[in-house]
Amino acid sequence: WIESLFFDDVLALTSKIKKRMSPHWKPVKMVPLGATRISFSKEDVLKHRKDIRLMYGINDDEVLIVYSGTLAKSRNCEIYLKVLSLLDQKIFKMIIIGSDVDRPNYVEELERQAKNLNISGNIFFTGRIPYQNVKRFLVASDIGICYIPPNGNIIHQPATKILEYLAAGLKVLANFTPANHVMLSGNPNAILTEATAHSMKNGVIELRGKSFENVPNGIESFYWSNLVKEVLIPFYLNILR
Q: Which of 38, 68, 78 is nearest to 160 (CA)?
A: 68
Q: What is the pLDDT of residue 235?
A: 78
CA distances from 87 to 84, 141, 205, 206, 209 (A): 5, 17, 8, 12, 14
For residue 24, what pLDDT band results from cuts at 50, 70 and 90? low
Q: What is the pLDDT of residue 23?
A: 64
For residue 35, what pLDDT band results from cuts at 50, 70 and 90? low
For residue 58, what pLDDT band results from cuts at 50, 70 and 90? very high
For residue 72, what pLDDT band results from cuts at 50, 70 and 90? confident
**CB under 8 Å to 121, separation ≥6 — which residues?**
89
- Asked if residue 106 has pLDDT above 60, the reply is yes
Report the share of the chain in percent with pLDDT over 70. Answer: 85
Give per-residue pLDDT as tens, 110-148: 999 999 999 999 999 999 998 889 999 999 999 999 999
For residue 221, what pLDDT band results from cuts at 50, 70 and 90? low
C-alpha atoms less than 13 angstroms from C-alpha of 87 in its C-beta half-sphere: 30
What pTM was computed for the model?
Answer: 0.83
For residue 5, what pLDDT band results from cuts at 50, 70 and 90? low
Report the share of the chain in percent with pLDDT over 90. Answer: 48
Give the residue, 121 or 13, on which the prediction is more confident: 121
Helix (H) or strand (E) holding 224: helix 224-227
Contact 181, 53 (CB under 8 A): no
Look over the chain and give the mean of its residue pLDDT values, rounded to a whole number: 86
Give me the mean pLDDT over the 226-230 stretch. 78
For residue 4, what pLDDT band results from cuts at 50, 70 and 90? low
**CB under 8 Å to 200, separation ≥6 — which residues?**
79, 83, 145, 147, 173, 175, 193, 194
